[in-house]
């Protein structure tokens, strides 16, 4: 969603679209507007709502960088794209000013969206142990095949080969990986149909079924943004 922002160009404040902000621009922070980019506060103070990124409903105050000549930049100096400015005070028309350091997919919001759309592959401990199980099953199949071929009169060599292949297929079913993937896909569709839960990684469903307790560090992560007034206790 594109918004209009004021940036300093050629010594004058000009209004441009948020998509036209580039690295190094000085952006005037307006109240009640989402920040168009990641940046460092260089003048004034800003109070922002970062619940979209962190789930924390408490507003956070950002301070200007104390020394522009190589000073360390901390979280108190950084503001992030997509967060809502609740208050902006400074010397430029009464507003704070921030220096743009990242735009588009390079912002914290862009990285969050990319992580959701393209999650990292999941590796479970039992997946790493599957080669050991396959090796044991293969050795078992070969042992049964040798014993069967030695102790039983199988007739022609064609019958012997067919019996060996049948034994291996019974001990190491080639359709087992396919059935596991299909089972996870069916479980994902069932979750979405019955519980309205969309799963981006069906491979997590078998492990999630074993979870008995889940602990969240922030209630805003699973409830809603913002804070509600409850009461005043004298």
* Catalytic sites, residue numbers: 217
In order of 17, 36, 110, the CA distances from 1 in angstroms are: 10, 10, 13
DSSP tag of 24: T
In the beta sheet, which residues pair with residue 89?
Answer: 45
- DSSP string across 85-116: EEEEE-SBTTB-EEEEEE-GGGSHHHHHHHHH
Q: Are 92 and 151 in contact, with CB atoms under 8 Å apart?
A: no
CA distance 32 to 21: 19
In the beta sheet, which residues pair with residue 4?
Answer: 17
Task: Based on DSSP, count helices (H) and strands (E) in the chain, helices before strands.
Answer: 6, 9
């Amino acid at each position: 969603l594109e918004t209009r922002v004021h940036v300093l160009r050629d010594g004058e404040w000009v209004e441009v679209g948020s998509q036209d902000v580039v690295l190094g621009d000085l952006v005037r922070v307006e109240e009640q507007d989402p920040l168009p980019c990641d940046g460092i506060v260089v003048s004034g103070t800003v109070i922002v709502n970062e619940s979209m990124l962190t789930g924390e409903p408490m507003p956070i105050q950002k301070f200007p960088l104390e020394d522009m000549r190589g000073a360390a930049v901390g979280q108190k100096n950084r503001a992030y794209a997509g967060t809502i400015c609740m208050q902006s005070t400074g010397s430029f028309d009464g507003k704070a000013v921030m220096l743009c350091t990242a735009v588009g997919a390079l912002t914290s919001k862009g990285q969050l969206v990319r992580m959701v759309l393209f999650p990292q592959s999941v590796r479970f401990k039992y997946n790493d142990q599957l080669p050991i199980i396959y090796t044991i099953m293969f050795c078992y199949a070969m042992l049964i095949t040798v014993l069967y071929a030695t102790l039983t009169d199988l007739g022609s060599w064609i019958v012997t080969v067919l019996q060996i292949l049948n034994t291996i297929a019974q001990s190491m079913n080639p359709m087992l990986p396919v059935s596991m993937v299909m089972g996870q896909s069916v479980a994902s569709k069932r979750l979405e149909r019955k519980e309205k839960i969309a799963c981006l990684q069906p491979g997590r469903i078998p492990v999630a079924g074993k979870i008995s307790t889940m602990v969240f560090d922030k209630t805003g992560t699973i409830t809603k943004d913002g804070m509600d007034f409850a009461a005043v206790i004298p």
